[in-house]
């Protein structure tokens, strides 16, 4: 079971590398969206430091959603999805591999860029650990939940809009506890409760999302 998982992840990563700019788009969008805020809100350092966590998290949600629309779409259009459904590998494993590849190509770069953006917005130094820990636990949940939406929109026109309507409400718990973790860390309060909730959300998504997405994909090819 592990071998097919690695084969699938390697293929998706290789595709992401070959497509170059396509896979960098989420990261570029993330940086641009955050950089716009000081222009819009004004250079008041206190205000920016106060909203830094929220801005970074909201931008991360939207950026991670950008790449989701294509998660299964390309395979659906060129017939690969049918063959993946027919492969002697459980569909849940295929979905898990695609989610892992999505996180490695979007979630991980977002995590790497987030501290720089936090510096830009003048976030309290104490908040950095909270931000990284919260993103490390939160972004995989975003990829997992998003995959269910990406599987459901296959075959529909204007899938991108539909995807945001389906997925953004489900992202709200991750957003709330992600921002709360950073604020708690910056304010010197206990970080642990928020991280435990984020872990709980991640485990729940891990347990449910691959099965839900696999069921949606089987429907899509029928």
User: Under a CB-based contact definition with an 8 Å cutoff, are residues 110 and 166 in contact?
Assistant: no
Q: In the complex, what is the shortest distance from the CB of residue 113 to other proteins, in angstroms, rounded to a whole number?
A: 25
Query: Which residues, 6 or more positions from 157, have their beta carbon under 8 angstroms from its beta carbon?
Result: none
The nearer residue to other proteins, 79 or 187, going by C-beta atoms, is 79
Cα-only R_g, the chain: 18
Report the C-alpha gap between 77 and 36 in whole angstroms. Answer: 35
Stretch that binds other proteins, among 4-12, 46-54, 143-151, 201-209 (CB under 8 A): 4-12
Dihedral sign for Cα 123, 129, 132, 137, please. negative
User: Under a CB-based contact definition with an 8 Å cutoff, are residues 109 and 26 in contact?
Assistant: yes
The nearer residue to other proteins, 26 or 93, going by C-beta atoms, is 93
85 part of the interface to other proteins, by CB under 8 A? yes
Q: In the complex, what is the shortest distance from the CB of residue 155 to other proteins, in angstroms, rounded to a whole number?
A: 14
Select the residue interacting with other proteins from 3, 42, 157, 188 (CB under 8 A). 3
19 part of the interface to other proteins, by CB under 8 A? yes
Binding site for other proteins (CB under 8 A): 3-4, 7-8, 11, 14-15, 18-19, 78-80, 82-83, 85-90, 221-222
């Amino acid at each position: 079971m592990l071998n097919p998982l690695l084969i699938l992840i390697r293929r998706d990563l290789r595709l992401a590398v070959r497509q170059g700019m396509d896979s960098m788009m989420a990261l570029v969008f993330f940086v641009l969206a955050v950089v716009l805020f000081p222009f819009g809100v004004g250079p008041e350092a206190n205000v920016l430091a106060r909203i830094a966590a929220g801005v970074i998290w909201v931008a991360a949600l939207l950026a991670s959603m950008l790449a989701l629309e294509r998660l299964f779409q390309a395979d659906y259009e060129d017939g690969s999805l049918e063959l993946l459904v027919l492969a002697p590998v459980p569909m849940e494993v295929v979905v898990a591999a695609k989610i892992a590849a999505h996180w490695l190509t979007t979630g991980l770069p977002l995590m790497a860029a987030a501290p720089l953006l936090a510096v830009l917005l003048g976030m309290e130094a104490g908040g950095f650990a909270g931000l990284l820990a919260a993103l490390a636990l939160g972004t995989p949940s975003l990829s997992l939940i998003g995959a269910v939406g990406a599987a459901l929109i296959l075959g529909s026109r204007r899938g991108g809009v539909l995807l945001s309507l389906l997925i953004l409400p489900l992202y709200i718990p991750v957003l709330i506890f992600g921002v709360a973790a950073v604020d708690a860390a910056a304010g010197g309060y206990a970080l642990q409760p928020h991280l435990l909730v984020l872990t709980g959300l991640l485990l729940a998504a891990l347990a449910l999302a691959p099965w839900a997405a696999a069921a949606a994909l089987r429907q899509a090819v029928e």
